[in-house]
Structure 1
Amino acid sequence: MAAHTRRISAAICTYERYDLLPGAIESALKQSLPSDTYEVIVIDNSPDPERSARESSAFAGRPNLTWLHEPRPGLSNARNVAARHAKAPIIAYLDDDARADAVWLENIAGCFDEFGDSVKVVGGRIRPWWGAPRPDWLPDQMLGGITVVDLGSKRRLLGEGEWVAGANIAFRVAALRHAGWFNTSLGRTGGGASLLSAEETALTDRIKAQGGLVAYDPLGAVDHWVDPERLTQRWFRRRAAWQAVSDYMNDPKASMARHGEAWLQTKSYLLSRNPADRTMRGLALRQADAGDFHWQTSAIYNAVTALLAGLDEQDDV
């Protein structure tokens, strides 16, 4: 472990996003903190090390930037590699398709300072950077699926049931290490074929179980790209199904315990449909109304949860 010579480290983990990555790096390099008090670490998980080396050359000579090519795939692994290379006691993660405000690191570090050693995790506001107009069918309750986080205008400790997201989250490195790092069986790997997630939630839960607190700072904010490909009902249905898988992997006992409730809620949705649509078809039909779409994606989440928990005909009573 390197000696602490910086106040805070900013880490950007990336996979073949060379179109958006430079903007994320520049935003992290143009922070209000003095440049000798923070560093920027890029972990490039892309499969071509020669391409990675060429791309990194654009940032050669930036004294507080480290670019590492990591051949082992997976976002969780890349985040762990960044934390192990950090020269600061705090590491803040920024997605490769995000842009940090100039005061991002100053406020994240200040939040840790204000609340003291008991706070092990700090998350900030994540604003949507729309790649296409927001659809009418997308309700506010589902914005978390595209990593929008706004918990108000005050710096504060989080309460039960509140969460912060990996596109803008920071940890004390010692707490991250003590909790066992990011779980490499969770999180995205490679392209978008898998939407497995919840790795930062699982880690935060372990830190909280060890007595650590989580705080939120609205001024430690970033803009996060919302790809037009995600602004489809098909993508949100996939997202709901993969969230159920992620939650099951994170806490199988909790998912097993609610399989009966999950199946009842799935049936409730299907029975509200026309008779011809009370099958898998009912979980795939386009919805014009935002409320109906929210209900449909909830039914998908519950159906997958019930199936993972071992649904059989005795449950259908």
Structure 2
Amino acid sequence: MSLMKLTVAIPTYNRAELLRRTLLSLAAAEHPRGLEVCALVVDNNSTDETRRTVEECQQQLDLEIRYLFEPRQGKSRALNTAIETADGDLLGMIDDDEEVAPNWLTAIADVFGQRWTEVDFIGGRYVPQWELEPPRWIPKQYTGVVGFSNPGEEELPYGSSFKGMMPGGNAVVKLSVLREVGGYNESLGPVGKNLMGCEDDDMYHRLLDAGKRGLYCPQLNIYHRVPAYRLTKKYFRRWCYGWGASQSVIDRHRAEYTGPRVLGVPRYLYGDAARGALRMVGSLLRLDRDGAFAHELSLWVLAGFFRERKEGRVLRAEAVGR
């Protein structure tokens, strides 16, 4: 395509100063010819200075910025509001604690400008910006808890052979495709301060199920702020519990598992729980506290799944992982 319009959706909740940095990074990025860019801030019922911050940026930055207020809390609701109201060809999605790399817009223009008929969605990397030195106990299989994702330097198609998925905070999708697949599942994703998630996981698989073609682009980078409070075991426990509950919601909606169930829960998960407990005990006996914590996290995932399946809800985030 010779001319494309990109709307960059930024759902936000009570992060006015971080949002300012996000908008500054978009304004400072290289704006390639042939790509019209608009930032769409969806204020998800904030009570801080979010609106004033956006108004100041509208006056100060060389960037088209639109502001929408979405009173119904929930990241998925905010994203669906963006999908409903955006215009143009592409919808980019970033979070309010991120900054885009200087070449972020150029990478988007290069892929869709040259391969419009071949690619429906793209995703890239998260580069962590640590507030503190990351602790050594962070398990490699749980780096997603702090928003660290680096599938490598090679451009690869998304699909069953790809190890990972399209990241929700660094993705660009054809707007018509998002509307075709029905937007985001509003039963998933964070609401206020809780740690439900998997809205991006669900969207990724629905895009693939609909036959849409995706591409991992190593040039598409965002810098993700990792605050100190996320580098605690308490936070990891809470996140894993919420992730497990979210997986239960996906299981109820998609029902891809066709094997035996006990009380509505796939039977194999009971075995996973027992094995996780035994491995945690084994690690403790070997004085391997880091290994024990990794196995403990797998139990928190299962606990979230079981609790959501039993009661159809999750514990409030502040009640988990104390």
Shared fold (TM-score greater than 0.5)? Answer: yes
- Give the counterpart of 2:174 among 172, 175, 179: 172
**Is residue 2:29 matched to residue 1:27?**
no
The aligned counterpart of 2:58 is 60
Query: After the TM superposition, which residues 92-241 of structure 1 pair with which residues of structure 2 at under 5 Å, given as runs?
Result: 92-160=92-160, 161-190=163-192, 192=193, 194-241=194-241
**Is residue 2:115 matched to residue 1:85?**
no
| Structure 2 letter corresponding to 1:10 | V
What is the alpha-carbon distance in structure 2 between the residues aligned to residue 288 and residue 57 of structure 1?
52
What is the alpha-carbon distance in structure 2 between the residues aligned to residue 272 and residue 199 of structure 1?
30
Listed one character per residue, the Cα deviations across residues 41-96 of structure 1 (whole Å, up to 9, x for unaligned) are 111113449x4442222113345111222222211111122223323211111110
List runs of 5+ in structure 2 lacking aligned partners: 260-264, 311-322
TM-score, reference length from structure 1: 0.84
Indicate conservation of the 8 Å contact 1:137/1:288, yes or no: no
| Structure 2 letter corresponding to 1:41 | L
Query: Match of 1:66, SS?
Result: strand
Q: CA deviation at 1:122?
A: 0.8
What is the alpha-carbon distance in structure 2 between the residues aligned to residue 153 and residue 177 of structure 1?
31
Indicate conservation of the 8 Å contact 2:30/2:106, yes or no: yes
| Structure 1 letter corresponding to 2:268 | E
In the superposition, relative to structure 1, how do residues 94 and 309 fare at CA in structure 2: closer, same or farther (>3 Å)? closer
**Is residue 2:271 matched to residue 1:264?**
yes
| Structure 1 letter corresponding to 2:44 | N
| Structure 1 letter corresponding to 2:68 | L
| Structure 2 letter corresponding to 1:43 | V
Q: CA deviation at 1:274?
A: 5.6
Indicate conservation of the 8 Å contact 1:20/1:96, yes or no: yes
| Structure 1 letter corresponding to 2:168 | G
TM-score, reference length from structure 2: 0.82
Q: CA deviation at 1:256?
A: 7.9
| Structure 2 letter corresponding to 1:27 | S
In the superposition, relative to structure 1, how do residues 211 and 273 fare at CA in structure 2: closer, same or farther (>3 Å)? closer
| Structure 1 letter corresponding to 2:267 | G
Query: Match of 1:20, SS?
Result: helix
Indicate conservation of the 8 Å contact 1:33/1:105, yes or no: yes
Indicate conservation of the 8 Å contact 1:149/1:164, yes or no: no
What is the alpha-carbon distance in structure 2 between the residues aligned to residue 272 and residue 143 of structure 1?
20
The aligned counterpart of 1:46 is 45
What is the alpha-carbon distance in structure 2 between the residues aligned to residue 101 and residue 220 of structure 1?
8
The aligned counterpart of 2:36 is 37
**How large is the Cα RMSD of the aligned pairs?**
2.7
The aligned counterpart of 2:317 is none
What is the alpha-carbon distance in structure 2 between the residues aligned to residue 245 and residue 256 of structure 1?
19
Query: Match of 1:7, SS?
Result: strand
Query: Match of 2:151, SS?
Result: coil
Indicate conservation of the 8 Å contact 2:280/2:292, yes or no: no
Listed one character per residue, the Cα deviations across residues 160-183 of structure 1 (whole Å, up to 9, x for unaligned) are 153121111111110100000111
Indicate conservation of the 8 Å contact 1:255/1:309, yes or no: no
List runs of 5+ in structure 1 lacking aligned partners: 276-281, 311-317
